[in-house]
Amino acid sequence: MSGPNEPGSGGQYDVVIVGGGITGMCLSWFLAESGLSVACLDHGRDSGSTANAGSMHVQMQSRLIRLFPDRLEDFKRTLWLYPLAVEFWQQLAADLEDDVELVINGGLMVAEDAEQLESLGRKCAIENSHGVNTRILDRGELQRIAPYLSDRLHGACYCEHEGKVNPLKANAAIEHRALSAGAAIHREVAVLGIEQGKPGFDVHTNKGNYQSERVVLAAGSGSGELAGGLGIDLPTRAEPLHMNVTDAAEPLIEHLVQHASRPITLKQLYSGHVVVGGGWPAAEGDGEAPPGVLSDSVQGNLELACEIVPRVASLRLLRTWAGVNPLVDLVSVLGEAPSVPGLFVAVPGDAGYTLGPICARLLADRMLDRPVSQPIDQFRPERF
């Protein structure tokens, strides 16, 4: 059996987890510290976690309303999970050895006119009816708490539970805890297929074969193809998205900033760098190549950032990159597949980096036959 940081050459484990992003890594940690032998296999391609911008989302993002109106009713019934996810992140951060720069200073979804603010008011009403505490700020209130914003903005929807984390530091700290708990983390391992063994599963990879009693699909958009090989319908897809980061500046942006109808997220890291993202499209990857940057997205994303926070215009663009946002139906997929006992799915819903740790905790408790703190039947895989 190979060591925890080696590419892997197969072996026998209690659990094999496919996918080493935020969900798979947390799940590896939680299961390994309970005494199970765990191998986490990660291909290293199309990862949402390693390309993530680190937003802690709670309120409904405007992109959901624009792009997925037919899915909103189901999504609304999952809103209660988001503030709990941020609370769990706070517990997790306190338990990690390194500072992951988690800051929950609140989030602002800004409106440019009265019509947008009225729309945000309707959104607030929905959120509050589903366990998410948001409220409307008028122009004066907005300027008092966020004077860095453009004075032409009409108001905002404010959510006190939103914030940011440094995903590079968080990913490294969580991986360290998983390794310390005894999990084997095998990178650059591509899972080619999964077969039901007698008993358990045979997991075939480019670096050898693994056997385990249980398998967890935590590979984001790649989970669907693997599930399909076992006769399970899991309609995942990859949404390539674009991000930017500027050079460091003096403290400027205190909140997580979004827009009522246009794609944007803005936040500032401890280091002073301003991260600009929020749903601008990227080019799909080609074969082994990762998603690519589109010049129109770079320009449009940064122009909108400068409109909302004028001082951003004085900063230089340091880096731009593309990543993958895994999509199913906006709702998390958690639980065991009834038709394939021992096969579990762990694909968080929209804002998967926010939801990843709590989804891992809930599924780990179910797998360990412990009391599950929140109802997860609505997330079961067989709903498809």
Residue 338 has pLDDT above 60, yes or no: yes
Give the pLDDT confidence of 193-229 residue by residue, as tens digits: 999 988 899 999 999 999 999 999 999 999 999 999 9
Clarify whether residues 261 and 231 are in a common domain: no
Clarify whether residues 224 and 257 are in a common domain: no
Clarify whether residues 109 and 78 are in a common domain: no
The pTM assigned to this predicted structure is: 0.94
Yes or no: say if 235 and 38 are a contact pair by the CB < 8 Å rule: no
Clarify whether residues 42 and 93 are in a common domain: yes
Residue 261 has pLDDT above 90, yes or no: yes
Taking Cα atoms as reference points, which of 108, 23, 129 lies closest to residue 61? 108
Question: What's the CATH code of the domain at 178?
Answer: 3.50.50.60
Residue 287 has pLDDT above 70, yes or no: no
Angle subtended by helix axes 352-367 and 22-32, to nearest 10 = 30
| Bridge partners (DSSP) listed for residue 111 | 155
The domain in which residue 155 lies consists of 103-163+240-325
Clarify whether residues 80 and 187 are in a common domain: yes
- Structure tokens belonging to residue 310: 């004028």
User: Mean pLDDT for the chain?
Assistant: 93
- Report d(CA 7, CA 2) in Å as an integer: 8
Residue where one domain finishes, among candidates 276, 307, 325: 325
Residue 380 has pLDDT above 90, yes or no: yes
Amino acid in the structure at residue 113:
D
For residue 49, the model assigns a pLDDT of: 64
Write the DSSP assignment of 217-259 as a string of letters.
E--GGGHHHHHHTTT-----EEEEEEEEEEEE-SS---SEEEE
- Report d(CA 51, CA 29) in Å as an integer: 21
Q: What is the mean pLDDT of residues 296-305?
A: 96
Q: 19-23, 62-66, 146-150, 163-167 — which is least confidently predicted?
A: 62-66
- Report d(CA 39, CA 49) in Å as an integer: 19
Question: What's the CATH code of the domain at 143?
Answer: 3.30.9.10
How many distinct structural domains can be found in the chain?
2
Give the pLDDT confidence of 123-173 residue by residue, as tens digits: 999 999 999 999 999 999 999 999 999 999 999 999 999 999 999 999 999
Taking Cα atoms as reference points, which of 129, 136, 30, 65 lies closest to residue 361? 30
Q: What is the mean pLDDT of residues 277-287?
A: 85
Residue 290 has pLDDT above 80, yes or no: no
Q: What is the mean pLDDT of residues 46-52?
A: 66
Residue 285 has pLDDT above 90, yes or no: no
Residue 279 has pLDDT above 90, yes or no: no
Residue 1 has pLDDT above 50, yes or no: no
Clarify whether residues 1 and 70 are in a common domain: yes
Q: 41-45, 51-55, 148-152 — which is least confidently predicted?
A: 51-55
Clarify whether residues 320 and 192 are in a common domain: no
Q: What confidence category does residue 243 fall into, taking pLDDT thresholds of 50, 70 and 90?
A: very high
Clarify whether residues 41 and 157 are in a common domain: no
For residue 352, the model assigns a pLDDT of: 92
Clarify whether residues 47 and 133 are in a common domain: no
Clarify whether residues 130 and 217 are in a common domain: no
Q: What is the mean pLDDT of residues 322-329?
A: 88
Which residues neighbour 281 within 8 Å (Cβ) at sequence distance 6 or greater?
240, 241, 242, 294, 297
Q: What is the mean pLDDT of residues 260-264?
A: 94
Clarify whether residues 350 and 228 are in a common domain: yes
Clarify whether residues 230 and 124 are in a common domain: no
Q: What is the mean pLDDT of residues 363-381?
A: 94
Q: What confidence category does residue 2 fall into, taking pLDDT thresholds of 50, 70 and 90?
A: very low
